[in-house]
Amino acid sequence: MRTALLVAMASFLGGCLGTEGFEQRLRAQTGELMYLREMRAPERRPGTVSLGTFSVEPELPPATTVRKTGGWVVPLLLVNAWQGEYRSSLGAAQLANDYRAFMKESLEEDLRRAARYRLVDGSGDLRVDVNVTKIEMSAPIAEGGHFVFLLLAVGWGNWIRAGPVDVTIEGETIVTRAGQEPVRSTVVGRSRSRILYRKGTNADTYVADFTTAMIESLSLAVKGFNGAVVEEVNRL
Amino acid sequence: MACTACLLLSCADAARYVVVTDATPFQPREAVEHRLIYVSEPDARASAGLVGLRATSSVRQYGGARRGDLGAVEALLFETVSGAYGAAEDTLRAREAEIPVYLWRLLAADLASERSRTDLPAAELLGLYQKAYDVQQSDLARTIVKLRVRQLRYGR
């Protein structure tokens, strides 16, 4: 009985990942920033557009980090339960491509594909300057468990829930035409994922998938941001 | 009895690819577990028996019962859903002119992803799915390509 209890306790405690456990598993996964382009070019107008300066002020952490934001423990003799809440931040090391280069290249591609004006490399009739000022990500993870000891019977269980991931990218777009600034506006791209679906995956895979979910959300926020910039250009 | 059937069905080996049309109902969750292949109603007529098969045993049964020469679309779909990806690629190349472009591009991307699940960079595969997306005519087909990009991302 004592052995069974010890085994049960060990399994229970071994199931807790904690800050370091999550960090280690999240860092084990990498992925590419990418997205499918759904925008189509509206009717083309005469004239050209070029991308001038493109800068990204915010910096992602070098590697994914996790910090504990809350939790509780009920350490009773017969019933023990606990919960931990964490917040993770996607790190650049988890991205297979450079996020700054991706943001610039993907905007160029979106302008080429969906702007009313033909994108040119040199100087165009319209010049678009973009400065990304904010990349904000909220990626919560929670885990919990219980251990019940009822003299002749023991029961325990663990759970993990990751998500939803919220990403907001904000920046300023300036469109210049013949020395004038017909557009100077704040542009925002947002993305919100669902809580990560878990079926038939073990905890390690599930947590690794959360890195993918963060990369996916960042990709989709970039997509939204670029779409907003293209819309600004198309207003002219 | 119905429960037993459900249990047996749940034990059946799930097919990786499932052919769907506009008239085929499917649960959103199925799009996570399977790779859906959209075929328009007219194109699905010749291979109606393949539509909606969700278990590998059903696909085998279809192959066993099918007599006569298979049309290009039916051959391509059958080879893909039965997991004969090499043969499907041969059909894709040899009978390109007989296969509608929306289906050709989707399966070209799918078969490339099956051939080199780890070799080809994800961005290159995305490019193939982008080409497939750009020629789709129906909303369902576009949704399926979008789901495929998610599957590509999550390595499914």
Dump pLDDT digits (tens) for B72-104.
999 999 999 999 999 999 999 999 999 999 999
CA distances A185 to A49, A105, A189, A203, B108, Å, are 17, 21, 13, 44, 42
pLDDT of residue A8: 53
Q: Is A212 on the interface with B (CB under 8 A)?
A: yes
Q: Mutate which of B34, B147, B154, B156 to test chain A, going by most A C-beta atoms within 10 A? A: B154
Name the band, by pLDDT with cuts 50, 70 and 90, for residue A223: very high
pLDDT of residue B13: 85
CB A135 within 8 A of CB A58: yes
Q: Is B153 on the interface with A (CB under 8 A)?
A: yes
The answer to whether the CB atoms of B153 and A97 lie below 8 A apart is no
In angstroms, the first-to-last Cα distance of chain B is 34
With a cut of 60, say whether residue B3 has pLDDT above it. no
Residue whose entry in the numeric block shows the structure tokens 């059909």: B91
With a cut of 90, say whether residue B119 has pLDDT above it. no
With a cut of 50, say whether residue B152 has pLDDT above it. yes
Higher pLDDT, B51 or A106: A106
pLDDT of residue A7: 55
Query: What's the average model confidence in pLDDT over B68-74?
Result: 87
For residue B68, the distance in angstroms to the closest alpha carbon of chain A comes to 40
| Mean pLDDT, chain B, whole residue set | 86
Q: Is A214 on the interface with B (CB under 8 A)?
A: no
Residue whose entry in the numeric block shows the structure tokens 């080996």: B13
Name the band, by pLDDT with cuts 50, 70 and 90, for residue B5: very low
Among A41-55, A74-88, A116-130, A190-204, which is the least confidently predicted range? Answer: A190-204
Q: Is A23 on the interface with B (CB under 8 A)?
A: no
pLDDT of residue A6: 57
With a cut of 50, say whether residue B137 has pLDDT above it. yes
Which residues of chain B make contact with A212, given a CB cutoff of 8 A? 153-154
pLDDT of residue B146: 94
The answer to whether the CB atoms of B126 and A215 lie below 8 A apart is no
Q: Phi/psi class of residue A225: alpha, beta or left (left: φ > 0; alpha: ψ in -120 to 50)?
A: alpha
Token duo for residue B61 = 């049964």
pLDDT of residue B10: 47
Q: Return the amino acid letter for A111.
A: L
Say how far apart CA A133 and CA A186 lie, in whole Å. Answer: 10
CB A137 within 8 A of CB A89: yes
pLDDT of residue B9: 46
The answer to whether the CB atoms of A197 and B154 lie below 8 A apart is no
Name the band, by pLDDT with cuts 50, 70 and 90, for residue B24: confident
The answer to whether the CB atoms of B122 and A37 lie below 8 A apart is no
The dihedral formed by the CA atoms of A56, A139, A222 and A168, expressed in degrees to the nearest 10: -70
What backbone phi and psi angles, to 5 degrees, belong to A19? -55, -50
Q: pLDDT tens digit string along A94-143?
A: 999 999 999 999 999 999 999 999 999 989 999 999 999 999 999 999 99
pTM to 2 decimals? Answer: 0.89
